[in-house]
Amino acid sequence: MKVAIVGGTGAFGRGLAARWREAGVEITIGSRDPARASERAAVLGVAGATNSEAVRDVDLAVLAVQSSAAIDTARELAHVLGATPVLCVASDLRFEHGAVYPARSAGSIAEDVAELVAGPVLSGFQALPAAELARPGLLDEDVLVAGDDAEAKKLVLELGQHLVSGRAIDAGPLANSRALEGMTAVIVHVNRKYKVVAGLKLTGFGD
Ligand SMILES: NC(=O)c1ccc[n+]([C@@H]2O[C@H](COP(=O)([O-])OP(=O)(O)OC[C@H]3O[C@@H](n4cnc5c(N)ncnc54)[C@H](OP(=O)(O)O)[C@@H]3O)[C@@H](O)[C@H]2O)c1
């Protein structure tokens, strides 16, 4: 399987790249700057390229640029992405008066991305902390993935299972990305208040 991580020079993209490389996935990390991509890729033992070169001929492109750039980057790459499935991991947060809020009152970043690209869009992994991905061992939490395309979602759930010791869970249609993205504000608040690195785990599945 071939996966491109757009903006994979960042902490989250590098964490995903390292985990999936260990699992045998062929990874290319992308950057706006090819030199930065090559430098970070060499450390990880993966390939590096510009964002637009990275997404050519892959099974999945992960949109792991800074959240505020996710929509513009999707627009810029739409023609090269073609029908490639895209995983959106972004959340819009607003920090105000010492508190963190979901920045949006409607829709989600992932749904906006889906308006711009031809392939199926998935949303997930928002609650996985990059710092924990960088440590050894699977994360003790679940991953939740929303999307409207069953085949693409199966692929992302499989990739998610390489990250956590919990479950990779189908979280329903892409519109449920509103909840996944909004939940990030809750996680960030909890981390700050309790000085922890919180993750998500659903109960009720039995053994
Ligand atoms: N950090 C976490 O714990 C975490 C957890 C779950 C999900 N996420 C999500 O994962 C994504 C990446 O997070 P991160 O912490 O790795 O972010 P980041 O380090 O702030 O940014 C990632 C990469 O985005 C690129 N970038 C920055 N500004 C850009 C722009 N204006 N246009 C295009 N590319 C730009 C940069 O790559 P180049 O300069 O090399 O192009 C940068 O290395 C975000 O959507 C975030 O919400 C993060």
Q: Is 48 in the pocket of ligand 1 (CB under 6 A)?
A: no
* Residue to substitute in 5, 6, 9, 12 for testing ligand 1 pocket (most ligand atoms within 8 angstroms of CB): 12
Task: Note the pLDDT tens digit of each residue in 133-171.
Answer: 999 999 999 999 999 999 999 999 999 999 999 999 999
CA-closest residue to ligand 1 atom 30: 69
Task: Note the pLDDT tens digit of each residue in 68-95.
Answer: 999 999 999 999 999 999 999 999 999 9
Indicate whether 109 pLDDT > 90.
yes
Determine the average pLDDT of the residues in 193-201.
96
Q: Give 10 Cα–ligand 1 centroid separation in angstroms.
A: 5
The pTM (predicted TM-score) of the whole model is 0.98
Residue pair 34/48 in contact (Cβ under 8 Å)? The answer is: yes
* Residue to substitute in 36, 38, 66 for testing ligand 1 pocket (most ligand atoms within 8 angstroms of CB): 66
Residue pair 60/159 in contact (Cβ under 8 Å)? The answer is: yes
Q: Give 110 Cα–ligand 1 centroid separation in angstroms.
A: 15
Residue pair 40/29 in contact (Cβ under 8 Å)? The answer is: yes
- Any idea what DSSP says for residue 68? G
**Cα–Cα distance, 161 to 100 (Å, whole number):** 29
**Cα–Cα distance, 158 to 135 (Å, whole number):** 20
Res. 203 pLDDT band, cuts 50 70 90: very high
